[in-house]
Structure formats: C-alpha cells, structure tokens
Amino acid sequence: MEFGTAEYQERIRKTKAKMTEKGIEVLLITDPANMNYLSGYDAWSFYVHQMLVIIDDEDQPLWIGRAQDANGAKLTTWLFHENIFPYPDDYVQSTTKHPMDYVAEILEQIGQEKRSIGVEMENYYFTAKCYERLQKGLPNSTFKDASLLVNWVRLIKSDKEIKMMKRAAKIAELSMMKGIELIDVGIRECDVAAEIFHTQIKGTNEFGGDYPAIVPLLPSGERTSTPHLTWTDDTYETGDIVTLELAGCYKRYHSPLARTVSIGKPAEKVQTLSDIVVEGLNNCLSMIKPGIACEEIEETFRKTIAKIGATKESRLGYAMGLNYPPDWGEHTASIRKGDKTILQPNMTFHLIPGIWLDQYGFEASESIVITENGCETLASLPRELFIKDGFVKIIS
C-alpha cells in the first residue's frame, strides 16, 4: 500500500460526496486505476472482471474478483479480509456464467438490491455484456451512469502523488535520453525499444520503475505521419525522422514525455515545424497558471502556430497520473477548444502538441503540474529537434 489508510479514507469521502450529488447509493468501480486509487489494489488481473463496491453507508469498500486474485487483494489493499469476495473460477470467460451474476447475488445477499447503483458505463473493463447481466440480475435496482466520477476526484493530486510523479518523470527523462542516444543509422528499432523498456523498468538505484500504461511509441520515416505505431525490426536510415513518446511510471503514477529525432540534417520544413511547435509549447508553459481554463492553453498554442499557417485538429493535452493499460490519460479535462475546466494547483497534465502530416510528424511534449503561481514541468530535458549526424558508422 503506497498511501496511509487516512489518504484512502479521504478519497472515499470525496467519492461519497460526489455519489450523494448524483443520487448514487452504491457505486461499482471497474476502472483499475479507480480501484487502486480507493483501495490500493494492484495486480494485472483486470483482464478478468473485478470491481470495488462503494456503499454510501459503509466505511469500507468491498472487493469482488477472481478467487486466485483474492490473496492479491489481501496483500495490496487496506480492506478487512471479510470485505474480499472471491468468485469461483468457472465464472471466468464462460459461455454460461458471468461474473456480474455473482456480483448481483452478493449485492442481493447484503441487501443492496433495491438501491440506486452507479456503474462506469464508459470504461474498458465494464463491457456491454456486464451491464446487460447486471440489469438482469438486479431488476429492482436503478442504474445511473457514474463514468469518470472517481476520475474527477483524481484530478487534483496530493503532494505525495506529485512526489511519485516526479520519480516517474526522472525515469521518463532517463528513458528518453537513452532512446535519443541510441537512435542512429543501421540500428534496429526493436533494439532501441528494448533499451528504453530496460530503463523504464530498472528505474534508478534509489527506486525501481513500474510498467507504463502504454508501451513506447517510436514510429520512424513515413510512419511518423501517425502517432500510435510501435516499433519494427527494421533499421534506421539516414534521413529518418523518429517521434518518440513514452512515460516513466512509478508505482502506477505516470509522467509521459515526447521528443523527435532527425537522423541526419532535417529537411527545412521539418525544422520549421519543430521550431514553431516548440515555440508554441514554450508559450503555453509561460501562460499556464491556476484560474485559467484549459481551452485558453489551446488558444495560445493555436495562435502561435498560425504564424506559419500550421493548424492542429487534435487536442493539445489531457489530465493524467495514476493508471493502467491501455491509457495513462484520465479521460477528464482535455486541453482543447470548449474545455472550460479551471486549472488548480496540483492538477497534472500531459501537454503534447504533436502534429502529424501526411509524410512526417513532429512531437515534443511535457508533463506538468500546476503550481500556486504557474506550472512546473515534471521532467527536465531540452525542448528541441534532436539531430544525429546520420553518417554511416564504420565498425572497426
């Protein structure tokens, strides 16, 4: 458990306040990051159904999950063991039984079957089938959409969480430097990715790394026209652009970072794009402070890059922190037109002004924490297009 029981209880208190606002009496948490946030639960068991149940008038949540994972819940959470409810293995990926049938039975047994139940409708780990089976199993319950309810509680971090994200940022810095150092003519993409992974997981001598919610993304050449391709076992060639997006992760807290490498002198258009994106990013970092709205950041960036006629259709950033695959983003505030979320101290964002054109792309990003007077980047690494000489190395 990474936080004291008092911090978990405070999170539960904030969650219950939001439940009350929305008229939710029983909240079913299936997002693994939300489960971890409220209970400490940490395991790669989210590929089977599991949940945390928050009941408005109960002090502790219930954990419901697969029998073989129950010892994991005992080892990683602050819950009393009698609050851990394991379901038998024949519920796993069965064509006849579904774990939500078990959940419905438990809720009925503990007298919660006629209440107003909140479910995370828009979460990877709450499938359409989950909802169908729960509704069938609990015909006297009222269901409400509780998507992102806990995610919004997560938006403002505690000082302890910020400290953990700074450790993650240290790992991100080291991993990015390793990638930039290794990318060169004749090197295989997978070998660069392997060294990045190694750095991410090893961490530092003081603290080890955890697995980021997204693998390193490092498309090269024409593949930089899109941000989410992973590596191949091809070798880099002179003239390649490589966009590198990765995160450091410390005890499930993330700090993402993106940079771009040019192997050999970049084409003028690439350097121009790089310069204006970095200028835009710097302008944003200068103006970010508590009290402004997310959309104002986007406006600053948009106006900067308009100077050379560039545009960016996709959002400029998003809240992030604690997470599990497949995403380190929190799915709450986005830095884009129309997002009126007001910045407050200890909110954390990944500001990623990537631009992907049809033949190439450019990315440079920072993870930031909102401070009392402005913002601070979590990592510290030059913001520029990194240029390798691009000469073929002769191995002596």
Binding status of residue 90 toward its own copies by CB under 8 A? yes
Region 346-365 residues binding its own copies, contact defined as CB under 8 A: 356, 358
Provide the angle, in degrees to the nearest 10, between the axes of the packed helices 294-306 and 268-287: 150
Residue 343's alpha-carbon distances to 212, 316, 382, in angstroms, are 25, 15, 25
Q: Could you tell me the smallest distance in angstroms from the CB atom of residue 47 to its own copies?
A: 4
Provide the angle, in degrees to the nearest 10, between the axes of the packed helices 5-22 and 32-39: 120
Give the residue, chosen from 136, 326, 342, 391, that forms a contact with its own copies under the rule CB under 8 A: 326
Region 266-305 residues binding its own copies, contact defined as CB under 8 A: none
> Quick check: bond before 326 cis, omega within 30?
yes
Whole-number Å distance between alpha carbons of 352 and 285: 12
AA letter at 220: S
Whichever of 216 and 266 has its CB closer to its own copies, that residue is: 216
Give the residue, chosen from 3, 15, 36, 69, that forms a contact with its own copies under the rule CB under 8 A: 69
Give the residue, chosen from 23, 88, 186, 382, that forms a contact with its own copies under the rule CB under 8 A: 88
The phi, psi pair for 382, rounded to 5°, reads: -55, 145
Q: Could you tell me the smallest distance in angstroms from the CB atom of residue 363 to its own copies?
A: 11
Region 200-219 residues binding its own copies, contact defined as CB under 8 A: 200-203, 207-211, 214-215, 217
Q: Which of 254, 256, 269, 163 is nearest to 209 (CA)?
A: 254
Binding status of residue 317 toward its own copies by CB under 8 A? no
Region 110-129 residues binding its own copies, contact defined as CB under 8 A: 119, 121-129
Give the residue, chosen from 142, 226, 344, 380, that forms a contact with its own copies under the rule CB under 8 A: 226
Indicate the SS3 state at residue 327: coil
Whichever of 119 and 162 has its CB closer to its own copies, that residue is: 119
The contact pattern for its own copies, residues 43-62, with x = CB under 8 A and - = no contact, is xxxxx---------------
Structure-token pair, residue 271: 């350097």
Binding status of residue 163 toward its own copies by CB under 8 A? no
Whichever of 285 and 333 has its CB closer to its own copies, that residue is: 333
Give the residue, chosen from 193, 320, 368, 385, that forms a contact with its own copies under the rule CB under 8 A: 193
Q: In what order do the strands lie in the sheet with 375-377?
A: 329-335, 317-320, 348-351, 366-370, 375-377
Binding status of residue 71 toward its own copies by CB under 8 A? yes
Region 127-156 residues binding its own copies, contact defined as CB under 8 A: 127-132, 145, 147
Q: Which of 56, 61, 59, 67 is nearest to 34 (CA)?
A: 61
